[in-house]
Structure 1
């Protein structure tokens, strides 16, 4: 298993990251300052270095030259974004902004190590070999190599919608087409972007991710396009922007719907002409960047309100990818809950905890407006507070609305069924039994909208469950 060196002077961060990596079967070495890091680089066989930008005794970016062929992943805060750009210029393979989530870190590490193994395989084959980088990447059984990256290295799903999404990602990834990733918050849009980059021809180049909503409007153009010395107050020197830093690689603009109109016009020129102009400059510079964008907003509707440029929308919307919300993913919800639970239990060193049947029913019944992110947070919270081996619905702290309350009571507490159902049989009813009985008893007097509201689910979910349980809608008379 890969040996990873963590270079971080803050003990809490270093210990937490060490624990995360060891729980995911990596071998971990630690260094708390620049000198300790140098000693580890010179004395140990390392596969990856993860370092903070600022260290006691020296800059983390100075380790890049010392590391030579060892890939370096730089950690930085937003306040040190300029340092991240400089690190990429000096040869860092990627950077993550603090605070990062665990999936983001693990995904970045896996992607880096896959690329490193592929480069090692090419070197092993020699310069005269007919095996190209693309051939190794697409050959799952190359001798001495590693399985190529797949979408499922980054995202999970077995429902029809997700499988179709994975197929689209695999088809568009090898091209340089612009991709617009659409989906609600928490569905995994950034994971889709990382999968697109890892499966692309640019996989050994830089992937720079920018959250447009996290950068102040007054700084967004300077951050993206760079600026010249004296372009504005505080611009003491010229510097590259993030688009230039991504030259040759991939730029992922998350929440692109938050981009100001003036910055939209500049971005349009990048897509049309392949060039940028720094703030305060009269000269244009050519760039070769593959653009991925994501949003939870309706950009088409925003164009009608003059909140988003229509020409930019059509430039972005070459290949739209829509990530379904968790509530529409059927059995994926419980399968994903099990997968996330096991990952969290391993990370938090709390084996032996499981979901009770009532908790599983509550998870299946809830709409999850925060999607996968909300599900993971609910499970982590439940693991922290539980004092028993079984997680009960109340520990998930799910915020069911009023229309779902009676349904939740049935699922979570085992209380009496609504009066429409024979209470003598209620103790033997499962979630699907309850659904089937309720629908059959009330569909002649209630509309589909009323049935869905009473059950606390969407009309689409009602229709899908009808199909799965073979419950036909009643024929209208006349």
Structure 2
């Protein structure tokens, strides 16, 4: 059983991480500082060290030297991202941002331990051997994304085809659909998997600092630049740079990024010297870059450089039964995290999850389930605990499917065929909406008012304002 040392001064985070790792069959020891770790343990004797960057006394990077070859995984907040990149240059095997996703942490730990085991067992073999093995395992579809609806299966196929190349990829999809998961899958299945994956949210960095953060700066390049620093593009040399929300990138920074793609080189802010970099770029956005390019808000030449390979993530509402599969996975994770057991969704909760539109997509679903687990006082999670805005009257699909179209000419006896149901819905609403309220229409159709409104929108049936009665 692998033995992991956690060095973290915040007791809540340290305890939660210990429980997470122990529940996944790891032996765990812990300390609140580098000094405590030195006094209590033989640090090189662990299989992996997971340490916060900022600790009382010596920083977590001190463990890199003390570990004598044992891999060190650094945890850091986004505000300390630059320090995390610097720690990797000092020898940290990887970094992970706090608050971290539990699956992300488990995947990182498993990957690091596997690589360490492989490096030990194949030390006398050719380097290409482990790479070939890794490529073979990658072909098995270890992408790390939940879902089996047709659009996602098509996406997985494209990921496997694109990942081994160095082509630039543009990931498009609504906020919260999991664009960073796709970027991480592309990196993990590529030949660059052992090199850094540097993730940058372009919308989270002030416009005045974005060029310095991405491309670095020389000493004295601007007020406060007391020393030269490498940028995040340079930190990703040999690996992958993931630019999330690239549509928010200022035009000046876009010009510099275009040079990286065209020439494979960067120039720090305030420098006259260029330097070569080997970086694969993956970009993501929820905006329509083509429209932005036409209106001058995004460089058209950069758009075409980014659009070599385009991957489209479907919204959660377009993924059918995937939503329940994802919800159950989130429920299992939250139960582990909070020490709850035997929680399950009640029937009305499953109906609400299946019918709700989830405008915030997977991120909103995860937050709703975390809320429900916190508030739940019984083994069954009811729909009201999810905190979503949906009416619960007769939400079940079968309630609507049981309404057979009167005198249907359809040859089949199955009333669940979408076309016949929609024809019946449209006919019924147009015939009765002049003398029925929305509540009465919904009750007759066996659906909620919200569902009635959504079907009106989908089928393009306007709500009449006239009060004149039409004959039934």
The 1:117/1:302 distance shift into structure 2, 3 A limit, reads farther
Q: Distance in 1 between matches of 2:162 and 2:400?
A: 49
Does the aligned pair in 1 maintain the 2:217–2:271 contact within 8 Å? yes
1:243 counterpart = 2:243: no
Gaps spanning 5+ residues in structure 2: where? 406-414, 434-444, 460-472
1:132 counterpart = 2:129: yes
Q: Distance in 2 between matches of 1:352 and 1:444?
A: 46
The 1:38/1:292 distance shift into structure 2, 3 A limit, reads farther
State the Cα deviation string for residues 313-369 of structure 1 (Å, max 9, x = none): 111111111111111111111122122212221221111211111111111111111
SS at match of 1:252: strand
1:15 counterpart = 2:15: yes
The 1:203/1:460 distance shift into structure 2, 3 A limit, reads farther
Q: Distance in 1 between matches of 2:84 and 2:47?
A: 21
Question: Which residues in structure 2 correspond to 1:128-277 (within 5 Å)?
Answer: 129=126, 131-140=128-137, 148=138, 152-277=142-267
Does the aligned pair in 2 maintain the 1:52–1:74 contact within 8 Å? yes
2:97 is matched with 97
The 1:201/1:49 distance shift into structure 2, 3 A limit, reads same
Q: Distance in 2 between matches of 1:268 and 1:316?
A: 9
SS at match of 1:57: coil
Question: Which residues in structure 2 correspond to 1:76-91 (within 5 Å)?
Answer: 76-91=76-91
- In the TM superposition, what is the alpha-carbon distance from 1:18 to its structure 2 partner? 1.8
Query: What TM-score, normalized to structure 2?
Result: 0.84
Q: Distance in 2 between matches of 1:35 and 1:445?
A: 75
Does the aligned pair in 2 maintain the 1:150–1:199 contact within 8 Å? no
Q: Distance in 2 between matches of 1:2 and 1:151?
A: 26
Q: Distance in 2 between matches of 1:263 and 1:10?
A: 37
Does the aligned pair in 1 maintain the 2:175–2:361 contact within 8 Å? yes
Does the aligned pair in 2 maintain the 1:254–1:293 contact within 8 Å? yes
Does the aligned pair in 1 maintain the 2:135–2:189 contact within 8 Å? no
- In the TM superposition, what is the alpha-carbon distance from 1:76 to its structure 2 partner? 1.9
Count the aligned residue pairs.
Answer: 433
1:122 is matched with 122
Does the aligned pair in 1 maintain the 2:180–2:244 contact within 8 Å? yes
Q: Which moved more, 1:163-172 or 1:51-60?
A: 51-60
Does the aligned pair in 1 maintain the 2:216–2:269 contact within 8 Å? yes
The 1:110/1:370 distance shift into structure 2, 3 A limit, reads farther
Q: Distance in 1 between matches of 2:242 and 2:235?
A: 12
2:440 is matched with none
- In the TM superposition, what is the alpha-carbon distance from 1:82 to its structure 2 partner? 2.9
1:291 to 281, 299, 318: 281
Query: What TM-score, normalized to structure 1?
Result: 0.83
- In the TM superposition, what is the alpha-carbon distance from 1:163 to its structure 2 partner? 0.9
1:54 is matched with 54
Q: RMSD over aligned Cα, in angstroms? A: 3.1
Does the aligned pair in 2 maintain the 1:72–1:93 contact within 8 Å? yes
2:320 is matched with 330
- In the TM superposition, what is the alpha-carbon distance from 1:96 to its structure 2 partner? 2.3
- In the TM superposition, what is the alpha-carbon distance from 1:446 to its structure 2 partner? 5.2
Q: Distance in 1 between matches of 2:287 and 2:161?
A: 25
State the Cα deviation string for residues 269-309 of structure 1 (Å, max 9, x = none): 00100000000000001101111111111111111121111
